[in-house]
Amino acid sequence: RIKGEEVIFLFTDDAKHLVPNKMRDFFCTINLDQEEVFRTQVVEKSLSPYFGEEFYFEIPRTFQWLSFYIYDKSVLQKDLRIGKVSIKKEDLCKYTGKENWFMLQPIDSNSEVQGKVHLELKLNELITDNGSVCQQLVVHIKECHGLPLINGQNCDPYATVSLVGPSRNDQKKTKVKKKTSNPQFNETFYFEVTRSSSYTKKSQFQVEEEDIEKLEVRVDLWNNGNLVQDVFLGEIKVPVKVLRNDSFQAWYLLQPRENGNKSSKTDDLGSLRLNICYTEDCVLPSEYYGSLRNLLLKSSDVQPISASAAYILSEVCRDKYDAVLPLVRLLLHHHKLVPFVAAVAELDLKDTQEANTVFRGNSLATRCVDEMMKIVGKHYLKVTLKPVIDEICESPKPCEIDPIKIKEGDNVEINMENLRYYVDKVFREIVRSSISCPTLMCDVFYSLRHLAAKRFPNDPHVQYSAVSSFVFLRFFAVAVVSPHTFHLRPHHPDAQTSRTLTLISKAIQTLGSWGSLTKSKLTTFFDISRRHLCVSSSKHFKKKNLLNLLKREMYKRAQGRTRIGKKNFKKRWFCLTSREFTYHKQQDKEPIFTIPIKNILAVEKLDENSFNKKNMFQILHGEKPLYIQANNCVEASEWIEALCRVTRSNQKRLSFYHPSAFLNGNWLCCKATIENTVGCAPCTADVPADTQIEIDGDRETERIYSLFTINMSKLQKLEEACGSIAVYQGPRKEPDDYSNFTIEDSVATFHTLKQITDIIDKLNESHEKYRKKRSSSAKYGSDWKKTQPKTTTKKIN
């Protein structure tokens, strides 16, 4: 089975010269096709708003366009869409890794399309009663997939099928399908194409053979508006000449109309600055990656470490971060991260001459630890900082102490006291959090402490400063100054709050750097956070803290627990904490319904055909399943992941579930008539209780293969360098082509490089076979995929 993997990381920076040309309140939405997945905060009274928000997310479905809409916020009326930036999925690679200004385009309803249609086309030759031959076009419109929501609801689609030429426009229409984004039409239409010149019966169209070159099949999708105007959903065009006498079947992506709003000027709406990072990988079956995976996992055992495959990967990549992310995730997945970090940290310490500069640079070791903390420490960060960050953002006190920046009427002494209060509270929470520090972080810090003490045996404080440089400078201080990046806050804080957080962050960095002044507190943090305490951290925090994990407004299907209870969908406020899952009629109201976390048996997606609604998931507990509809696909994945994470240690988790709902006396998935029968599909989230994060090892190995492939020229240069060093052992007098590479043992490095190139050559062959197979299977106009790709988000700046 082949998997397609896509990741997008977005940073919405700022916009400028927006219209109307007066100070307004603006915000920006991020859309996959027509589905909004993220929204920035509102920037008030500006013509050039600065958003400064980052979004990193997995895209759980296929898409055609990544779009950004700029809105003018309105209090009494509907928000006004000013303009948009739309980037085709195929064009994302052009903009990846760099900052770009995009001109806002006018919004034309005829260009707002998404989805695809499945057609079968055939050109038949028919013999008439008098023996002459004519041609007939057969159009079988089978189904559509992924049509947009209309006003937040599934549409009522129908299709028109036309045969269009210079002198004809023969049109037919399907039936309307109610409330579905994936309509099944299964209707066949017949069109007269050509007749022989001897055919005498009167006909509306007399088309000669050569006119086939000018004919095309056009399929238009519409939403039936009933009492209002029908809404255009997209169209596709197929030239009849590609058919000839062959039967043709394919999926076609719906396209916008060509006669969009061309008269609108595109240079007077303003522009938007974005930083986009995008990757797409084709993941082969696991057995193809065995050799590369094993070579990477043995890296920590290679002597010297600079001759290992993992270290060489970081050497050849232009940006070490490109290598660090998949490498850390792969080593983490196979429990090989700690020895590798220890090995590269030891190499890092060899070049460190002073104790006060230990682990202060951007080396492979420090970046690996940074990435490990981001992956493993998400929950730890929320437990420790979210309550105090919420207090600072929701009830801010003035903390400005710079005489130049202080506002008129503010008292510096009071501001200083406020800042001292916040810093003390944050620092106290960090020190107290030692018992909940994740096991892996403890193990890594333990190794770094001993390596630093071994390198500088005469400095009693280096064992603390070695770890504080990560804990305070690279973890907590960064999270304080950018809480939205670490999901501690939904949006970038306002300017005044950002300034307060910056001052707090600087103070935390300073305190973390003064190892001798804070030795007692640092000793408390570092010595207590060992493995035996980390193992019990979850129990400790269940008793001590009630952590709010997610809060959002969504829709739920009424339980219908009484005889007259209506099973319709209602909007409710949902809240997930470390103890329970609740929903409320409104925010800040008492819960209507509560499910203790310990009672949740499974959390799974729900098939769309159950209620003809997208983005649905189900919570299985002691009573009937609770069916919930999220606002978009990313939000649905976020809730499922969070619920699965907090329920993994539950003892009675189910192994099987029903992917569809129980309606009209039977399960739609397996047709079983008993409501409490065992599920018919294995639970996708049925994983060991001690699993902290979801990592696809094959996906990360494929990313590493791609990086080696992209940097093959550097691998060859490194190989040549090893050969040169092996031949000439004398001193280097001038910089050479390989002076930037770390080569401690040229023979060992050369041996590893040879293994890498051999493995990459074999994987290249496997990918080429897949590409040829896909190319031979795909047809004209098709968006054929072996399987629907698992999509991931990347960073937009």
Q: Higher pLDDT residue, 95 or 13?
A: 95
Q: Assess if residue 709 is contained within a domain.
A: no
Q: Higher pLDDT residue, 413 or 135?
A: 413
pLDDT digits (tens, 9 = 90+) for 703-745: 999 999 999 999 988 988 888 876 655 555 444 555 577 888 8
pLDDT digits (tens, 9 = 90+) for 425-457: 998 888 888 777 888 888 899 899 999 999 999
- Residue 79 pLDDT: 87
Q: Assess if residue 179 is contained within a domain.
A: yes
Q: Assess if residue 55 is contained within a domain.
A: yes
Contact 420, 582 (CB under 8 A): no
User: What average pLDDT does range 171-191 have in this prediction?
Assistant: 92
- Please name which of 408, 393, 413 lies closest in space to residue 504, comparing C-alpha atoms: 393
Contact 764, 320 (CB under 8 A): no
Q: Pick the last residue of a domain from 682, 705, 726.
A: 682
Q: Assess if residue 725 is contained within a domain.
A: no
- Residue 98 pLDDT: 81
Contact 442, 529 (CB under 8 A): yes
Residue 523: pLDDT over 70: no
Question: Is 32 in the same domain as 157?
Answer: no
Question: Is 54 in the same domain as 184?
Answer: no
CATH code for position 246: 2.60.40.150
Using 50, 70 and 90 to split pLDDT, how confident is the model at 567?
A: low
Q: What percent of the chain has pLDDT over 70?
A: 82
User: What average pLDDT does range 131-135 have in this prediction?
Assistant: 75
This prediction's pTM: 0.70
Contact 38, 61 (CB under 8 A): no
Q: Assess if residue 667 is contained within a domain.
A: yes
Question: Is 36 in the same domain as 126?
Answer: no
- Please name which of 253, 252, 248 lies closest in space to residue 137, comparing C-alpha atoms: 248
Rounded CA separation 256/262 (Å): 13
Question: Is 598 in the same domain as 674?
Answer: yes
- Residue 795 pLDDT: 35
Q: Higher pLDDT residue, 562 or 33?
A: 33
Cα–Cα distances in angstroms (integers) from residue 257 to residues 63, 224, 232, in the given order:
18, 18, 9
Question: Is 495 in the same domain as 558?
Answer: no
User: What average pLDDT does range 547-557 have in this prediction?
Assistant: 84
Using 50, 70 and 90 to split pLDDT, how confident is the model at 757?
A: very high
Question: Is 65 in the same domain as 209?
Answer: no
Question: Is 387 in the same domain as 433?
Answer: yes
Q: What percent of the chain has pLDDT over 90?
A: 32
- Residue 259 pLDDT: 55
Q: Pick the last residue of a domain from 682, 699, 717.
A: 682
Question: Is 663 in the same domain as 535?
Answer: no
Q: What share of the chain is helix, strand, coil (3-state, %, to 5)?
A: 35, 25, 35
Averaged confidence pLDDT in the chain: 81
- Residue 775 pLDDT: 61
Neighbours of 186 (CB within 10 A): 11
Q: Assess if residue 323 is contained within a domain.
A: no
pLDDT digits (tens, 9 = 90+) for 98-125: 888 999 988 877 777 888 899 999 888 7
- Residue 774 pLDDT: 67
Range of the domain at 244: 116-253
Q: Assess if residue 325 is contained within a domain.
A: no
- Residue 5 pLDDT: 57
Contact 660, 612 (CB under 8 A): no
Number of domains comprising the chain: 4
Using 50, 70 and 90 to split pLDDT, how confident is the model at 244?
A: low
Using 50, 70 and 90 to split pLDDT, how confident is the model at 245?
A: low
pLDDT digits (tens, 9 = 90+) for 313-359: 999 988 888 899 999 999 999 999 999 999 999 999 998 888 888 88
Residue 263: pLDDT over 80: no
- Residue 229 pLDDT: 85
CATH code for position 607: 2.30.29.30
pLDDT digits (tens, 9 = 90+) for 270-315: 899 998 888 777 888 889 999 999 999 999 999 999 999 999 999 9
Q: Which residues pair with 3 in a beta bridge?
A: 283
Question: Is 538 in the same domain as 662?
Answer: no
Contact 63, 33 (CB under 8 A): yes
CATH code for position 535: 1.10.506.10
- Residue 307 pLDDT: 93
Question: Is 165 in the same domain as 229?
Answer: yes
Extended strands (E) in 95-183: 98-103, 116-127, 133-145, 157-165, 168-173
Q: Pick the last residue of a domain from 522, 544, 566.
A: 544
Q: Assess if residue 420 is contained within a domain.
A: yes
Name the token pair of 189: 């239409």
Question: Is 62 in the same domain as 128?
Answer: no
CB-based contacts of 198, cutoff 8 Å, min separation 6: 130, 132
Question: Is 576 in the same domain as 597?
Answer: yes
User: What average pLDDT does range 538-560 have in this prediction?
Assistant: 65
Place of tokens 């001897």: 198
CA dihedral of residues 250, 253, 256, 259 (deg, nearest 10):
-30
- Residue 727 pLDDT: 63
Using 50, 70 and 90 to split pLDDT, how confident is the model at 3?
A: low
- Please name which of 85, 81, 14 lies closest in space to residue 51, comparing C-alpha atoms: 14
Contact 117, 221 (CB under 8 A): yes
- Residue 535 pLDDT: 33
Q: Higher pLDDT residue, 226 or 180?
A: 180
